[in-house]
Amino acid sequence: MWEQYRKTLLGMQIVICAVTAAVYINMGHRWFAALVFFVTMQISALIGAMWASRLKGRFAQRSAELPLRPKA
């Protein structure tokens, strides 16, 4: 999971900071609203990395199986 997170770290952090700044400015300089968006997006980035890692593992496992092997 951490490998996947490191691959997307820079891009995701740039997007998260841009969205947080936009929310802060557009919501009337409410720092709490911006903080909620920031924390939510950070947690979502971690969940997304876990999900992508799991999907990558599934695809790797399926491609490693023999083609004539019966599926359980």
Establish if 64 belongs to a structural domain. no
3-state secondary structure of 66: coil
Give the domain extent around 6.
2-56
Distance CA 45, CA 58 (A): 20
pLDDT, mean over the chain = 86
Establish if 29 belongs to a structural domain. yes
Tally of domains within the chain: 1
Establish if 63 belongs to a structural domain. no
Establish if 62 belongs to a structural domain. no
Q: Residue 58 pLDDT more than 90? A: no
Distance CA 32, CA 51 (A): 28
Establish if 68 belongs to a structural domain. no
Distance CA 32, CA 24 (A): 9
Q: What is the mean pLDDT of residues 9-36?
A: 94
Establish if 61 belongs to a structural domain. no
**What's the pLDDT at 69?**
63
- Residue indicated by tokens 């300089």: 29
Instruction: Kindly compute the dihedral angle of the four CA atoms of residues 47, 48, 53, 54, in this order, to the nearest 10 degrees.
Output: 70
For the entire predicted model, the pTM comes to 0.70
